[in-house]
Chain A
Amino acid sequence: MQVSTRHMLFVAIASALGCATGRAAPPPASAVPAAAPQATAPRQDSTPPTPPGAGAVSAPNADPFPSTYRAVPSGPVAIRNATILTAVGPRIQNGTILIRDGKIVAVGANVTVPSDARVIDGTGKFVTPGIIDTHSHLGVYAAPGVDALSDGNEMTNPSTPQVWAEHSVWPQDPQFPRALSAGVTTIQILPGSANLFGGRSVVLKVVPSRTVQGMKFPGAKYGLKMACGENPKRVYAQRGLMTRMGNVAGYRAQWISAEAYRRRWDKWLADKKGDPPSRDLAMETLAEVLRGNILVHNHCYRADEMAQMIDISKEFGYQIKSFHHGVEAYKVADLLAANNISASVWSDWGGFKMEAMDGVRGNLPLLHNAGVRTIVHSDDANGMQRLNQDAAKGISEGKELGIQIAEDDAIKWITINPAWAIGLDDKIGSLVAGKNADIVLWDKNPFSIYARAEKVWVDGAMMFDRLDPRQRWRTDFELGYVPEARIP
């Protein structure tokens, strides 16, 4: 989309740019306070941060794989008489949503529909923002799951922040169209959890494309995948760390190196004296975390380990944006709330390994009740298609626990809250005028098991229509291999 920053060492120029550098742009009004704590967080030593320091833009090579995504051109559309779950307030009964030029123009009970708009009757149907999943491996663990397409875990070293998930994404993964058909419009693709530092994530729009660049969400920040506990321990037991204390020593050693690297580079960027320091892709990623430009997504099951990861983040002055798979997050809900860390969790998946055995179906409502930004995530191409059903389970278990959660709030678990965790809550995740028109029309209340996404819009363009099989997105892989579905 935008000018490439390739080979540009002068950071100021990058301020106009998108991916991974968004912090330099003026923050939108709705920007969340995530950045605030890290600016004042204690540093590892007493050396004052060298300007530009925290909040500076990516350097030296901010956006080497720029997004080439363009919204499919579309005319204005109005969905009328629908129940609209906006994810920002109470539902609108018999509401109308008007979209034009890829944006939401108006949402409300009394919206004037212009004569040029295509009108869709939403009687008896529901409208929600496009579903957002903070935790996916689509494309990097593509279907069919053959070794040749297994590109999600760089299990060669416990620390691989130098790898980027986007370089493993296969855009022809047939899991993408299935996600879209379930109303999922934005996903964060993460590297796997074998490593302490798994690599960079990438945020994708769920749209057909020949290249991953054509799916990349313009302006989205990168994430850093970190992992706690059993997985790194297991994978490296024979060739490196083998204990949880080994894990923690591993994180700290890397952050110490990264902070030195950041200082070296930020100093050079400020004074431009002499040759630039040599580049190190691993350290570049971690330095960007320390500058606040890359968001930390931390796979962590156990409550006690989350507490330790929070301390590590304070020691080195970065913010954890979301704990993923936190089956025990409910045990430290107060800690997560106090530290402004979201919880990306399942409704009731667990039990498959020691660190998952305390999973409970009340995780979602207990977190919600404690004021934690609560997110339903999938980590699974099937589960991703039913995040709404998982949210319903959370509401239901909440009721059992005496925690009443309105559907109008629970919808946030799969829309605006994940949007916040991936740093895009100013663009997507709620139905508000001015935001991207990522919209799902459901045939029934999405918290019913019988609900299905009927139509899905991405940036104002209808990308899926269950009623029109001719529109069906089929990946290259599927042609000839996957029988064309008959619509029952």
Chain B
Amino acid sequence: MMKTRARGMRPVAWGFALGSALVLAMPATVHSQTIAITGGRVYPVSGPVIENGTVLITNGRITAVGANVPVPANATRIDATGKWVTPGIVNVATTLGVVEIGAVEETNDTPARGRGDAVTASHKVWEGFNPSSPLIQVTRNDGITTVGVVPGGGLVGGQAAFVDLSDGDLAAMMLQAPVAMTADIGSKGEQVGGTRAEVLQRLRDLLADTREYMRRRADYERNATRELAARRGDLEAMIPVVQGRLPLVIEANRASEIESALNLAKEFSLKIIISGGAEAWEVGPKLAQAQVPVIVGALNNIPLNFSMLGARQENAALLQEAGAKVLINGGADGFNARNVRFEAGNAVAFGLPWDAALRAVTLTPAETFGVADRVGSLQVGREANVVVWSGDPFEPMTRAERVLVRGVDVKRPSRQDELMQRYKALPPTYRK
């Protein structure tokens, strides 16, 4: 079978990746292109829908959005008549690029295992990111243009990044890193070795000792402090968290765990984000009042464990109703990261207003993680991450027809497409 491989494979222009990396590195000097997406139903997210709208893109950035935008003569036109135009979808929490095949250890760069101490705050998950992962093409072909790359792990898993699914190397793709620190107070009792209360205390010790470390750094260097709750690198990494500059994403599902997280945030003046939040709807008003964003899925209605007894698909809708800031996630692994748009659709089926659902997978995650000046909406000056859909982006029947990342159409055959084409009409050598 090996010898037949070349015959069955369609040629793919992989060289393109290198070329556009150069483009991105030096946008204004070597590259001047204007693209006009015209005639579509445009959802800027930052403002109301525009029927028969135009999105104008110059040098990879959005330069105009509106109903009556003059299109320069030299512009490349994309006719979006009858189509829907949205910002690229943001999948806020994935392992895209850091986990290729979950069960194959050597392709799995999360979770951080540390030294068994459950605190790996210095873990920068993006340093293991593989821009050559074929799953990136699979993902962006479905209209996902930005992903959060998040670590897993123990009590404190490490630092997350936001990357654009553009061509090029990690430096080219990077939007911002770190965007957050991740922690898990819900289900890590076993790893940390104890009860929910112990887990919380462990986190308190870490936060307090980070302050201690900041105050007495000179003493620390002279070995003149008591033993602190984490290694030096992890304490360093925690500094922006205790300063309230870097959000701490806390995985918590039971209503009482979420309340614990809110109390902890108050105690240490932290900026937190709740993730998981299976029972968040039960404490919606408290989350709203504390202005703590919540990352929730919309598919699970099963009491998978004793921290998720109240899991329900109306979670996002009820949180929205309570005034909390809602982000929708789904498809954490690279293979399924594309499916976040269906997660949003299901949230709508269970009561979330459609506009809110679109916001929950575009602008709200961008705002929450500090990249709204770059992505998440169709506004002048933003990166041209734009998708032209054949219809409602949440419907399975809808296709992402054009996917622009920083103004470059990145829709190309993925590894999956190649497999399908190969087997749709069996190559002669395979007919045995």
Q: Which residues of A contact B (CB under 8 A)?
A: 143-146, 174-175, 178, 230, 330-331, 333-334, 348-354, 356-362, 366, 369, 381-382, 385-386, 389, 392-393, 395-396, 399-401, 447-452, 478, 481-483, 485-486, 488
Give the complex CA separation of A357 and B306 in angstroms: 33
CB pair B303 A143 closer than 8 Å: yes
Query: Can you name 18 A-B pairs with beta carbons within 8 Å?
Result: A175-B302, A330-B423, A351-B101, A353-B101, A357-B101, A359-B335, A360-B419, A362-B420, A369-B424, A386-B299, A393-B396, A395-B396, A396-B397, A399-B399, A449-B349, A449-B394, A483-B309, A488-B314
CB pair B351 A450 closer than 8 Å: no
- 7 tightest A-B CB contacts, nearest first: A351-B335, A449-B345, A353-B103, A392-B396, A488-B351, A362-B420, A360-B416
Q: Mark B341-369, 1 if CB is under 8 A from A, else 0.
A: 01001101111000000000000000000
Name 18 extra pairs, CB < 8 A, besides A451-B349, A483-B309, A486-B314: A144-B306, A174-B302, A174-B303, A178-B301, A351-B333, A352-B103, A353-B103, A356-B101, A357-B101, A360-B416, A389-B346, A393-B396, A399-B399, A448-B397, A450-B345, A483-B282, A485-B312, A485-B314
CB pair B394 A401 closer than 8 Å: no
B420 CB contact (under 8 Å) in A146, A366, A381, A488: A366
Among B303, B308, B339: residue with most chain A CB under 10 A: B303
Q: Does B260 contact A (CB under 8 A)?
A: no
Q: Does B6 contact A (CB under 8 A)?
A: no
CB pair A334 B309 closer than 8 Å: no
CB pair A348 B339 closer than 8 Å: yes
For residue A483, which residue of chain B has the nearest CB?
B310
> Given A351-B335, A352-B102, A360-B419: A389 and B424 within 8 A (CB)?
no
CB pair A381 B395 closer than 8 Å: no
Looking at the assembled complex, report how far the CB atom of A40 sits from the nearest CB atom of chain B, in whole angstroms. 24
Looking at the assembled complex, report how far the CB atom of A365 sits from the nearest CB atom of chain B, in whole angstroms. 9
Q: Mark B15-54, 1 if CB is under 8 A from A, else 0.
A: 0000000000000000000000000000000000000000
Give the complex CA separation of A357 and B100 in angstroms: 9
CB pair B317 A488 closer than 8 Å: yes
Looking at the assembled complex, report how far the CB atom of A355 sits from the nearest CB atom of chain B, in whole angstroms. 9
> Given A352-B102, A353-B102: A450 and B420 within 8 A (CB)?
no
Give the complex CA separation of A385 and B300 in angstroms: 10
Give the complex CA separation of A396 and B102 in angstroms: 27
For residue B351, which residue of chain A has the nearest CB?
A488
For residue A358, which residue of chain B has the nearest CB?
B419
Give the complex CA separation of A357 and B107 in angstroms: 12
Taking CB atoms and an 8 Å cut-off, the chain B residues in 285-343 that contact chain A are 299-306, 308-310, 312, 314, 317-318, 333-336, 339, 342
CB pair A449 B342 closer than 8 Å: yes
> Given A178-B301, A488-B317: A144 and B420 within 8 A (CB)?
no
Q: Does B191 contact A (CB under 8 A)?
A: no
CB pair B317 A452 closer than 8 Å: no
Contacts of B399 in A (CB 8 A): 396, 399-400
For residue A332, which residue of chain B has the nearest CB?
B423
Contacts of A488 in B (CB 8 A): 314, 317-318, 350-351
Number of interface residues of B (CB under 8 A): 45
CB pair A392 B103 closer than 8 Å: no
Looking at the assembled complex, report how far the CB atom of B44 sits from the nearest CB atom of chain A, in whole angstroms. 23
Q: Does B135 contact A (CB under 8 A)?
A: yes
Contacts of B396 in A (CB 8 A): 389, 392-393, 395-396, 447, 449
Give the complex CA separation of A349 and B104 in angstroms: 17
Looking at the assembled complex, report how far the CB atom of A180 sits from the nearest CB atom of chain B, in whole angstroms. 12
Interface of B is mostly: loop
CB pair B395 A449 closer than 8 Å: yes
CB pair B420 A481 closer than 8 Å: no
CB pair A450 B102 closer than 8 Å: no
Looking at the assembled complex, report how far the CB atom of A475 sits from the nearest CB atom of chain B, in whole angstroms. 10
Q: Does B214 contact A (CB under 8 A)?
A: no
Give the complex CA separation of A389 and B397 in angstroms: 9
> Given A450-B349, A451-B349, A481-B309: A360 and B420 within 8 A (CB)?
yes
Contacts of A447 in B (CB 8 A): 396-397
For residue B354, which residue of chain A has the nearest CB?
A450
Contacts of A146 in B (CB 8 A): 305-306
Q: Mark B403-427, 1 if CB is under 8 A from A, else 0.
A: 0000000000000100110011010
Among A352, A353, A447, A486: residue with most chain B CB under 10 A: A352
Contacts of A401 in B (CB 8 A): 420, 424
CB pair A348 B336 closer than 8 Å: yes
Give the complex CA separation of A432 and B303 in angstroms: 37
CB pair A144 B305 closer than 8 Å: yes
Give the complex CA separation of A357 and B103 in angstroms: 11
Among B300, B304, B336, B420: residue with most chain A CB under 10 A: B420
CB pair A449 B346 closer than 8 Å: yes
CB pair A144 B135 closer than 8 Å: no
Contacts of A362 in B (CB 8 A): 416, 420, 424
CB pair B302 A143 closer than 8 Å: yes
For residue B338, which residue of chain A has the nearest CB?
A348
Among B282, B300, B302, B397: residue with most chain A CB under 10 A: B302
Contacts of A354 in B (CB 8 A): 101, 103-104
Contacts of A448 in B (CB 8 A): 395, 397
CB pair B349 A452 closer than 8 Å: yes
Q: Does B398 contact A (CB under 8 A)?
A: yes
For residue A181, which residue of chain B has the nearest CB?
B301
Looking at the assembled complex, report how far the CB atom of A177 sits from the nearest CB atom of chain B, in whole angstroms. 10
Among B301, B395, B398: residue with most chain A CB under 10 A: B301
Give the complex CA separation of A357 and B101 in angstroms: 7
Among A348, A356, A366, A381: residue with most chain B CB under 10 A: A348
Contacts of A351 in B (CB 8 A): 101-102, 135, 333-336
Contacts of B306 in A (CB 8 A): 144, 146
CB pair A144 B303 closer than 8 Å: yes
CB pair A144 B301 closer than 8 Å: no
A389 CB contact (under 8 Å) in B282, B300, B342, B426: B342
